[in-house]
Structure 1
Amino acid sequence: MAEPARAVADLIVDRLRAWRVPRVFGYPGEAVAAIVTAIERAGGDPGFVRVRHEETAGFMATGHAKFTGGVGVCLANHGPGAVRLLPGLYDAKLDGQPVVAIVGEQARSPLGGAYQQGIEPTRLFADACGQFLRVARTAEQVPILIDRAIRVASATRSPTCVVVPDILQLAAVPDPFPAQGGSSAMAPGLPPARVVPHGSDLNAAAHVIGAGQRVAILVGQGAAGAASEILELADRVDAGVAASLLGKPVLDERLPFHTGVLGHAGGAASAQLMAGCDTLVLIGTNNPWTDFYPLPGEANAVQIDIDGRKLATRYPVSVPLVGDAAETLRALLPLVPNRQNRQWRDLVEGTVDRAREEAIARTDEPGEPVNPRRVLYELSARMPADGSVTVDVGSVTYWYARHLQLPVGARAQVCGTLAAVGTALPYAVAAKLAAPDRPVIALTGDGAMQVDGLAELVTIADRWHQWPDPRLVVLVLNNRDRAGREGPGWGAGDGRRGSATGALPLPDVPYAGWARLLGLHGVRVDRPELVGAAWDEALAADRPTVLEAVVDPAVRLDPPELPFAHLRGAPAGGAGPGDRRWRDQRLREHAIEELS
C-alpha cells in the first residue's frame, strides 16, 4: 500500500512539534513505520533517537523528563515492543515524571484473535498509564488524543499512552487538516501555576517548626530550585539537613550541617539526625526508606509537596502543605520565629565531621585490586561544575551516595523508586542529547552494563560526532559479581535481607576494549594509585570514554546500622522492632543530655 502524501502519522508529528517535543526515543517496527517515516519527513523536528531496545527508549524518555523538566516521548511497536516499554513507564510513574508513550497496534485481525504478536494494549498499560490511556479509531481523534496525553502527563507528572493502529497511521488526511468542533486539537502549552497553601495552614506549620528544639529537614527531588529558601529555614531554627537519594543534588553537600543521604545507601550521620530530632520538615520527598525516619510519634512533622497524594504516605504529618517547594517556603519563612539552638546544630555538625572523616578513611582502605570507594572519591575533586551524573542501581549507588560530592549546579539522576538495573546509560544518552554542550558521567556496575549498557554504547558511538562537547564518561565498576556484599545489620527493620546473597559471578567482559572497538575511548585501571590519572584521561578525551575500574567485590556495602547501633550502645546482633525503638530512645536521650 503506497503511503499518501499526508497521513494521520503526519498529524502526530505536527502535534509533537506544536508542543515543542525535541525528540522521540524508539525502535522502528511494522506497526509504527508510518510514524517513523513521518518524523523523518519532518527534517529533525522532532528528532528520532533510534535505540537498540525498546526498554531503553522508555528509560531515555524518563531520563529526558528528569533532566529537562519537560515531557519525554517514546515510541514502540506492537506486541513485544510494547511490552518492553513497561519498565521505563513504571520508572516515570513511581518517580513522578511526565512521559508519553505512542504505541502502534496491528489492526489486521480482531483483538483476541490470537494473531502473531497480538496483545491487548489497553490491559497491558492500564496500571502504568492509569491517568490517560486511549486507543485512536478515527483520524479526527488523533490530534486531540496526542494533546491530551501530553497535557495530562504534564499536569499529573505521570506516564500516559496513546495507541494508534497501523492502518490508521497511513490513512490519508487533507492538508490543512480541518478543525471540527470538539475534535480539534487543543492549544499547546501548560503554563505553570503558583501553588501556595492557605495562610492558616502556613501559620500552623510555622507554629510546629518554631516549637521544635531539635529540627531536622529532609529534602527530595521536589525541592529542586528551593536551595536558598531551605538554607534560610535551616539557619532560622539551626536545623540539620539530610537528603533523599533523589534529593542529593539539591543542596551543597559540603555544608557543615548537611548529613548526606538518608537510608540504606546513606551514612550514619543522617540516621542519627533522624533519631535525635523532635521536629521533622519534609520538603519534596517521598523517600521510601521509612526505617530511618523517627519512630512515629517521636517527632512532629510538616510536609511540603506539590502532589497532595504523597502527603503523609511515609510518616505521620501534623501539618501537610500542598504547594511548590520554593513558593511555599517563601510564604512560610516570615512566619517561622527565629529560634536558634546552637547546641543542637553543634551536635549535628560534630556528627557530620566524624562521618566525613570516616568516609575518607574508608576510601584509603586497600582493595584487591582497587577499593571502589576510592574511584568515586577521586571523581569528587574532578567533577565538572556544569556536569550531569546518572547513577545505576547496585553497589555503585552506595559509593555515589557516600563518596561523591556534587558541586553546586551539577545535576544527578537515579532510578529511585523502581530501582531498575540498567538505567544509567539510557539516562546518560537522554541528558547528553538535552544538553550536548555539557559533560555527562554515567556511573554503573558490570552487572548493569551487561543488561543494556553494552548495546547502548552503539547509540553513543552513532551520535557523539554531533555534540559540541564530546565528553560522556561511562564508569564501569568491574567486580565480576552480580550480588552486592552486604554487611551485618543490612536487614535491620524489614526482616527480608538478613544475610548476604553470596557470589554470583559474571563473565569478565573487556568493557574498555569494547568501547575502543566502537571508535570510542577506553581506559582500564586496576591500580589504586592510577585512579585519579584515569579520571583525568577520561575527562580530557576528545570522544566518549568507558572508564573500566577493576574493583574488589569483597568491599562490603555496610548500611549505617552498625555505627548507629554502636553509638547507641546496642548489641551488634538482633534488629527487631523492640531493639530499634530502644536504640532510638538511647540516641534521643544522648542528644538531650548533650543539650542540657
Structure 2
Amino acid sequence: MADASDVLVERLIAWGVDTVFGIPGDGINGVFEALRKQKDRIRFVHMRHEESAAFAACAYAKFTGRLGVCVATSGPGGIHLLNGLYDAKMDGAPVLAITGMQHSDLIGTFTQQDVQLDKLFIDVAVYNERVMSGAHMESVADLAIRSALNARGVSHITIPVDVQVQDANKGRSSRDPQHHTTSTPAYFDQLPARVELEHAADILNRGKKIAILAGRGALHATSELEEMAQRLGAPVVKALLGKACVPDDSPYTTGGIGLLGTAPSQDVMEDCDTLFIVGSSYPYIEFLPKPGTVKCVQIDVDAQRIGLRHPADVGLVGDTRTCLRALLPLLKDHDGSFLKKAQKAKADWQKLLEERGTRDDKPMKPQVMGWELGKRIPANAIVTSDSGTITTWWARYVPALRGQKHSCSGNLATMACGLPYAIGAAVAYPDRPVYCIIGDGGLSMLMGELITVAAYKLNIKIVVIKNNTLGQIKWEQMVFLGNPEYACDLYPADFSAIARGAGLDAIRIEDAKTCGSQLDLLANKKEPVLIEAVVDQFTPPMPAKIKASQALKLGEALARGEPNATRIALTNAYDKVRELV
C-alpha cells in the first residue's frame, strides 16, 4: 500500500528532483520515512536551520534552472522557511516547500505547534495547498511542482501528520484521474508578434547611442547579448543578478549599475538616447534615464514586468535569447562610437579599481581582498555573495568570467543567504569549486551551516570579510539620513577558531602584502576552508558618482556626534587625495 508520503516522493522523482534540503521533525515524519525508503534515488541534505534550507533550495534553483525543494516540520519549522522562500519569490526561482501540520482533527484547537501554514504562506506562494487526504496527494503534488516551474515562483504543500500516512487510493473520487504528466508547456520559446519585433527593430535602428541593461533573465543569452552589442554599438550595463550574463572582461560591458556599479555604466545611462532592457526589472529607477528622455525597448518573459521601471515604447514578452535571435536579422550595423567611448571609460575605471585594490594600508582595505581573490577564482567556479558592504566588494572587484555563475539575494537583499547559497551550489555541482564571499554580520546569522559544509565535505571557500561592524547599515545611517551610526558594532569574534571548531580548515589574512601569497596556498585545495580577512571598517562602499546630497548628509552625521568622526573623515579625505593624485 502506498501512502500519501510515498506518492509525494514518487512524484518528486518523476519530475526529476534529486535533492531535498531541510530538517526532520515529528510533524513531518511520514514524509521523511518516504524519503528514507527512496534514499538511493533522492538525496536529503540535512541543514542546521530551516531558513538555510530554503536559501539552499533557492540557490539550487537559480544555478540549475531546476526545481529547488525544501522540507520542514510543523509550526516553527515551517515558519523558519519564510525568509528564504521570499528570496525565491522575489528573484523568480522555482522552489517547492513541503511542511507538516498537526493531526487534522486537532487543527484550530490550540494544540501544540498549531500553526495553519497554508494561511501563513498565502502571500509567498503561487500555489499553496493543504493536503486533505491520502487520495488528494498526487494531484496536489503535480500541480505544485508544475506551478513553481511555470511561474518561476514558490509552491507550498502542507500535510497534516495523519494524512502523511493515509492510503493514497482510499476514498479516491471518480473525478480524480491519475496525474502522470511531468512536462511543462514550452510557451517561453514562443515569439512576440512579427509587427512587435519590427517596431522594436525600428526603434533600435533609429537609436544613435543605445544602452543595453541586462539582468537575470539574460543569464543564458551571453552570445546573443554580445552579438547584439556589436551590431548596435551598445554597451551592456548589468543589473546585479545579471552579473554573469556577459563576462566582465568582455569589450561589450561596462559592468554593474547603481550604488554598487561603475562610473562608466552610469555615464552610459546618462548619455544614451535609447534604452534596451533585456531580462531585467532593476528597481532603482534613479539610476535609469528619466522617463520621456529616451526611447525604450524591453524584453521580459513576464508580461507584468514590461514598463515596470521605465516606460517601454515596445514590450516583447518572451524568452530573452529567443527574442534576441529573432531581432538580430532585423537590425542594422551601427558605427560603434558610443561603445568605443564607453570602452575607454571602462579602461580608466579599471585603473582606479587596481589602484584601490593594490594598496598596502594597515588595516587592510577590503578592496585588496576583492582584487586578489578576483584574480584567483577559476573560470569554472560558482560565486555567491551576501548582502551588505560585502556586496559592493564582490560586485566591483570580483569579475565574472566566462563560464562562471554568480548570484546573491537580489530584490529581497537579505543578509545570511551567502553560505546557504554556496551549499546549494556545491550540492548541485559537486565537481565545481564554490566561493562564498560574505561579511561577518551575514555569517553570524546562520553560522551553524559551517557544520553542514564540514559534514558533507563540500568544496567551498568561505571568504569572510571581517570589519566588526554592520557596515552597510552604518553608512546608510550617515549618508542617507545624516545620523551618527548607532548599534552597528559587532563583537570581534574569531571566525577562524569557530570554523576549526566546526571541523573546517581556516586561515587568517590581515596584511595586504601577504594576501595574494596566502590565497595562492589554497589554489588547488578541494577541501572546504574558511578565509578570515580582517579589513578596515572605516572604508565606505562609495557610489561610483557621489551626489552632493550624500556628501552633505555625511557631513551632518559627523557634526551631530558620530563616535568615529575623526577616523572616518581622515580615512575618506586621505583616500580621495590618493585617487586625485
TM over 0.5: yes
Letter in 2 for 1:388: I
Instruction: Indicate yes or no: 2:560 matched with 1:547.
Output: no
Hey, what does 2:398 align to over in structure 1?
404
> Among 350, 353, 368, which residue is 1:356 paired with?
350
Measured after TM superposition, the shift of residue 256 of structure 1 is 3.3
Kindly, what percent of the aligned residue pairs are identical?
33
Instruction: Give how far 1:329 is off.
Output: 0.6
1:78 paired with 2:63, answer: no
- Equivalents in 2 of 1:271, 1:407: separation in Å? 22
Corresponding residue to 1:274 among 264, 269, 280: 269
What does residue range 466-477 of structure 1 map to in structure 2 within 5 Å?
Answer: 471-477=459-465
Q: 1:523, CA displacement in angstroms?
A: 0.8
Q: How far apart in 2 are the matches of 1:229 and 1:449?
A: 37
Q: Which moved more, 1:345-354 or 1:397-406?
A: 345-354
Q: Which residue is 1:457 aligned to?
A: 450
Q: 179, 182, 198: which one pairs with 1:185?
A: 179
* 2:239 corresponds to which of 244, 258, 280: 244
CA-CA distance at 1:497 after TM superposition: 4.6
Equivalence for 2:61: 65
SS at match of 2:465: strand
Taking a change above 3 Å as real, the CA distance of residues 326 and 498 of structure 1, as seen in their structure-2 partners, is: farther
Aligned residue number for residue 48 of structure 1: 44
Partners of 2:43 and 2:22 lie apart in 1 by 11
Amino acid in the other structure paired with 1:472: I
Matching of residue 436 in structure 1 with residue 430 in structure 2:
yes
1:103-502 equivalences under 5 Å are: 103-107=99-103, 109-129=105-125, 131-173=126-168, 181-190=175-184, 192-193=186-187, 194-342=189-337, 344-452=338-446, 454-464=447-457, 471-484=459-472, 497-498=481-482, 501-502=485-486
What is the total number of aligned residue pairs between the two structures? 553
Q: Is the 8 A contact 2:244 2:406 kept in 1?
A: yes
Residues 76 and 102, structure 1, Cα contact 8 Å, conserved in 2: yes
Q: Match for 1:421: what amino acid?
A: M
Supply the distance in 2 between the matched residues of 1:265 and 1:324 (Cα, whole angstroms): 27
| Amino acid in the other structure paired with 1:259 | T
> 1-side partners of 2:224 and 2:82: how far apart?
37
- Answer whether contact 1:101 1:160 (CA < 8 A) is retained: yes
Gaps of 5+ in 2: 555-581
Q: What does 1:4-19 correspond to in 2, within 5 Å?
A: 6-19=2-15
Tell me how far 1:151 sits from its aligned partner: 0.2
Q: CA deviation at 1:192?
A: 3.3
**Alignment-mate amino acid for residue 463 of structure 1:** Y
Note the alpha carbon deviations across 1:467-491, whole angstroms, 9 max, x for none. xxx5310000111112327769996
Amino acid at match of 2:330: L
Shift of 1:224: 1.5
The offset of 1:17, in angstroms, is 0.9
- Tell me the C-alpha RMSD between the 2 structures: 2.3
Residue 229 of structure 1 and its aligned partner are, at CA, apart by: 1.4
1:101 aligns to what? Answer: 97
Distance 1:405 1:389 in 2: 10
CA distance in 1, matches of 2:550, 2:410: 32
Shift of 1:508: 1.8
CA positional deviation for 1:30: 1.0
Instruction: Go from structure 1 to structure 2 and tell me whether the alpha carbon gap of 1:108 and 1:503 turns closer, same or farther (over 3 Å shift).
Output: closer
Secondary structure of the 2:261 match is coil
Q: TM-score, normalised by structure 1?
A: 0.89
Distance 1:179-1:46 versus aligned 2 partners, 3 A rule: farther
Q: Deviations over 1:238-287 (max 9, x none)?
A: 11111000001110211234211101111222111101111000001111
Q: Distance in 1 between matches of 2:79 and 2:393?
A: 33
Tell me, which stretches of 5 or more residues in structure 1 are unaligned? 465-469, 576-596
Cα deviation 1:191-241 (Å, max 9, x = unaligned)? 534221111000110111111111100110100221121112211121111
TM-score, reference length from structure 2: 0.91
2:153 is matched by which residue type in structure 1?
S
1:414 shift after superposition: 0.5
Which residue identity is paired with 1:224?
A: L
Change in 2 beyond 3 A, CA 1:501/1:184:
farther
Give 1:560 shift.
2.2
